[in-house]
A = this chain, B = another copy of it.
């Protein structure tokens, strides 16, 4: 089925993109309002579309799914009145693992009516055996509504032999491979699950007499909820107003592999992961970078806005002054018509402008979070030089991104990743800068608190995008011809 009205995307093509944020709440009046606020705080995890399902004892299940920002869609009194009840879940997404087209039927949460009542689910992550599951389900007579990998879960639940919904969900998730954090709901229960490796985040909060689940703690803050704890890898919590939080363990235990890129870029700096401030981790990455790859210079300048904490750390550690050499246009846009006489780097100019007076004649250290395709880095370098900088040194707050992610992150194909085809020196030449240094994988592990660095035999995090070591085999992708890293 086809593409209709794909909304334009405000972000650059030259970043990895988290694909989803999920939020749920039970035991409060007008739960959907809380969910709308929570999703607003998680908007950085998915800007394309959002959806909310609520349940009310009288009105039953209701849902609304919309393209665009939460603030533009889920703030009208008219709409929110159609989502009554004390229990609701929601989802924001960038795009699905399915077809490239954007269709409203791909927007989660997904809903299914079973003989024992309805259930809705919202999924953050990616199912690596979704193609195989889909084929099997269609053979058995299931009709798929969407192109989303996540829809497999609800069909597996529909066919489960178990007699209640949480058990059907356990049954379904045992068939699923890959990375998933799930928030789901029945008529009375809020359910949260993380996959056995705990790749994607999910936290539990307490709000008034009720409970909530969220991808990140920053969404607890916005509704004034108290942070309780993280859902553990492989844990399933079933929460009801009546019985509170019950925890079960549907999966065989495995060593945890939390996504290290959540620390580097995906999560908001004001969130707390594993007891650590994301902001502080990023600042610490800057400190490590300054130790690993010092350089004489006059100015430490962040590439806005994600490079800022690392730049602050780099400046503090190096003693080189910190300054905002690049201004971000907060009214970003990118579809302006180019005037007939060509303007160099117009795409970047719409979003960024160099503070000419600040950089002129200076040796500038640019601190950025990552290099993906390298296209933006090149343009920024040119702008800085055009403005009269004497030297440009890139310091990157993550190791070279050389492998695609199959666990719920939008990454280019491997051949588009600069680091997949070039050495660090080749990249420096390609970007034509005076120096280019990435933080080491060990430096990154130290910055996130693994003081001993990365354990090569069993890394403490999922770092497949840097290392090529995939903790879960990407079944569907291998079937399509993806080559894993050769064993060494």
Judge whether B341 and A29 touch: CB under 8 Å: yes
Which residue of chain B has the shortest Cβ distance to A83 in the bound complex? B2
Q: Which chain B residues border A74 with CB–CB below 8 Å?
A: 336
Given A141-B159, A353-B221, check contact A340 B29 (CB 8 Å).
Answer: yes
In the assembled complex, the CB of A468 is this many whole angstroms from the nearest CB of chain B, namely: 32
Closest to A283 in B: B323
Question: What per-residue 1/0 map shows which CB atoms of A140-156 lie under 8 Å from chain B?
Answer: 11111100000000110
Q: Which of the 9-residue segments A56-64, A257-265, A458-466 touches chain B? A: A56-64
Please tell me which one of the listed residues B4, B277, B322, B331 contacts residue A322 in the complex, with CB atoms under 8 A apart: B322
A208 is an interface residue with CB less than 8 A from chain B: yes
Structural contact, B145 and A142, CB atoms closer than 8 A: no
Contact in complex: B277, A357 (CB < 8 Å)? yes
> Is residue A182 within 8 Å, beta carbon to beta carbon, of the partner chain?
no
Residues B308 and A312 in contact, CB atoms below 8 Å apart: no
Interface hits, A278-299 → B, CB 8 Å = 279-280, 283
Contact between B37 and A336 (Cβ–Cβ < 8 Å)?
yes
Q: State how many copies of this chain the complex holds.
A: 4
Q: Is the CB of B343 within 8 A of A223?
A: yes
* A270 adjacent to B327 (CB under 8 Å): yes
Complex CA–CA separation, A43 to B72 (angstroms): 20
Bound together, the chains give a CA A74 to CA B323 distance in angstroms of 33
Fill in one digit per residue for A321-358: 1 if any B CB lies within 8 Å of its CB, else 0.
11110010111110111111101101001100111111
**A247 CB to closest chain B CB, in angstroms?**
26
Complex Cα spacing A355 to B322, Å: 20
Give A167 to B72 CA distance when docked, in angstroms: 47
**Which of A138, A283, A333 is the most central at the interface, judged by chain B CB atoms within 10 Å of its CB?**
A333
Interface 9-residue window, one of A111-119, A419-427, A444-452 = A111-119
A69 CB-CB contact with B under 8 Å: yes
Report chain B residues within 8 Å CB of A335: 71, 75
Whether B138 contacts A327 by the Cβ 8 Å rule is no
- Which of chain B's residues have a CB closer than 8 A to the CB of A202? none
A387 nearest in chain B by CB position = B221
For residue A87, CB closer than 8 A to chain B, the reply is no
The answer to whether A331 and B69 have CB atoms under 8 Å apart is: yes
Residue of B4, B105, B312, B330 touching A64 (CB-CB under 8 A): B4
B141 and A358 within 8 A (CB): no
21 pairs, CB–CB < 8 Å, chain A vs chain B: A1-B60, A1-B63, A33-B340, A37-B343, A37-B346, A71-B335, A72-B333, A74-B336, A75-B336, A141-B141, A142-B142, A143-B155, A143-B158, A221-B354, A221-B356, A223-B339, A268-B353, A269-B324, A270-B354, A272-B357, A305-B330
Identify the A interface with B (CB < 8 A): 1-4, 28-30, 33-34, 36-37, 40-41, 43-44, 47, 59-64, 69-72, 74-75, 77, 79-80, 82-83, 104-105, 111-115, 135, 138-145, 154-155, 158-159, 207-208, 218, 221-224, 268-270, 272, 276-277, 279-280, 283, 305, 308-309, 312, 316, 321-324, 327, 329-333, 335-341, 343-344, 346, 349-350, 353-358
- 4 tightest Cβ-Cβ pairs between the two chains A and B: A71-B333, A277-B357, A141-B159, A2-B62
